[in-house]
Chains A and B, each alone.
Chain A
């Protein structure tokens, strides 16, 4: 499956990824409406970390052996059969935050202003290119075919 590749060397910390992720997950999907009219504003599922000159954007790694899927007590966290993405069925989530406890990337947020469910990257649900990647001006985020799986869970 294709994965989002993070290049901290190119990230300038502009946070356009966060903005466009929020827009993509808003009701209107229009930037002005999403930010000025929609309340609560949709959470960004990508998080830019910044310290001094270093910055990078991080979102769910869609681990092969995803600790969040193991830990989810209701089965809301699941793998999408078609895309391989790890998705959260937010209607089924009860907000126990076991996923927050086990995600080694800290990539799952609690949506406390909205539906009280776990909020995470969904790879823009089958969009050709996720919004964060499409709107990164520096190719600090790229969407590429993964040669093998990552290390969310050591084998």
Chain B
């Protein structure tokens, strides 16, 4: 039994750890186009901002592959997958046979087709190498101002990194507010306020229509409304789409918005599994399959795939959006539905906003269940709410306590507390 994994980030490592839980012996090979040992993608913004150095980029200890008995082919590109022949071909290295394959090719940054993207000083920002290139560009050109396209999660992390380097930032967002996918209007207003306080220029409901260069290098951008913004650097941070470029047509691996997978994280081809940002996995709140490019879900999907690849049946019970992100040092956590969707169900909102301290808490209920939670500036013990969402706990008995300052496990019905800590005679 030979396991092959394409990819080397959260889903791939989750898969290795899932396989090794039940299969200590069979060979595992990781093939990845990046030359690095597994590293933390989210840390690239910390790296660019100078908050960590390159020695701290590792996602697992240096002896991880050796201890888990994983062969690695790093810096090697996979050119084709042949599900019917159970092998993959490698650029310049022939082919590699597998008995079980995991596709964990991640996401691909989206770059809109506008003029000027080939100029020097225009980057996407999802890989380590890009962080290095941007840092080099900043140092070589003495970059003083930048335009970040997209005010979502990647955009915010990019802004933080650039601010840490003393660079003047203008962020351009197509939606009518920043962080529109993870915050509601109030949360976005707060984030907007915090960004402007840090000197960031925010432009919403517009986008860059053209990047103009001088001598082959970025000079300024022109926005849809004609505004011209001078800059030495442009970073696309619109988001990622499932990277499914490797999936062959007509080979039995179905692709929708991402690679289709069942609850065991198996694709529609036998013995081919997929996990992470490249798939459309089950979202338990919307009860649909859709791409949710989120680190913890990628790891768990990979882990579930790994258990199944090792012959131990295991199902992915579904994920839902969840993000913890600081907006210029203000901590925020967003879980599940932040705005009640327009789906005919009845929703109820509990919220608490303190203008003085810029603190905001909001909970979204569907019937007697919690389906969303947003916390800005006060995030302690937020996981208790995430647990209530995950387990769809009936909150009717303690609804009035949900937003109180003393809310804790003690507020929960004894049954649920026991259910949580039970196992093994452990109980509260």
Contacts and interface: CB of A to CB of B under 8 A. Distances in A.
B333 interface: yes
Interface in B374-402: 379-384, 386-387, 390-391
6 contacts: A3-B426, A6-B428, A73-B40, A103-B383, A106-B382, A106-B409
A144 B40 contact: no
A152 B379 CA distance: 20
Nearest to B390: A104
A54 B406 CA distance: 13
A84 B15 CA distance: 20
Interface of B: 14, 40-43, 46, 51-52, 56, 58-61, 295-296, 299-300, 303, 314, 317, 322-326, 331, 333, 335, 379-384, 386-387, 390-391, 406, 408-411, 419-428
Contact of A100 (B52, B61, B295, B381): B381
A147 B423 contact: yes
A16 interface: no
A148 B426 CA distance: 10
A6 B428 CA distance: 5
Contacts of A58: 409, 428
A7 B14 CA distance: 34
Given A106-B384, A146-B426, A100 B379 contact: yes
A55 B51 CA distance: 41
A125 interface: no
Interface in A102-125: 102-106, 108-110
Given A3-B426, A94-B43, A70 B410 contact: no
B422 A71 contact: no
A49 B410 contact: yes
B299 A74 contact: no
Nearest to A69: B299
A67 B424 CA distance: 19
A35 interface: no
Interface in A64-98: 65, 67, 70-71, 73-75, 92, 94, 96-98
Given A70-B299, A100-B380, A150 B51 contact: no
A148 B424 contact: yes
A115 B14 CA distance: 28
Given A102-B386, A105-B409, 9 more contacts: A4-B426, A5-B427, A6-B427, A65-B303, A71-B295, A96-B326, A103-B383, A109-B380, A147-B424
A96 B46 CA distance: 11
* 9 pairs of A and B residues whose beta carbons are closest in the complex: A104-B387, A106-B381, A150-B423, A71-B296, A103-B383, A146-B424, A49-B410, A147-B424, A73-B42
A101 B382 CA distance: 5
Contact of B428 (A8, A75, A92): A8
A102 B51 contact: no
B-side binding surface: helix, strand, loop or mixed?
mixed
A48 B331 CA distance: 24
Contacts of A5: 425-427
Interface of A: 3-8, 47, 49-51, 54-56, 58, 61, 65, 67, 70-71, 73-75, 92, 94, 96-106, 108-110, 144, 146-152, 154-155
A118 B314 CA distance: 30
B380 A75 contact: no
B421 A61 contact: yes
Contacts of A97: 324, 326, 331, 333, 379
A121 to B, nearest CB: 13
Contacts of B317: 154
A98 to B, nearest CB: 5
Contacts of B410: 49-51, 54-56
Contacts of B427: 5-7
Given A101-B383, A109-B380, A146-B423, A73 B300 contact: no
Contacts of A56: 410, 428
Given A6-B426, A6-B428, A100-B380, A75 B60 contact: yes
B421 A101 contact: no
Contacts of B382: 100-101, 106
A94 B51 contact: yes
A20 B58 CA distance: 34
Contacts of A148: 423-424
Nearest to B43: A74
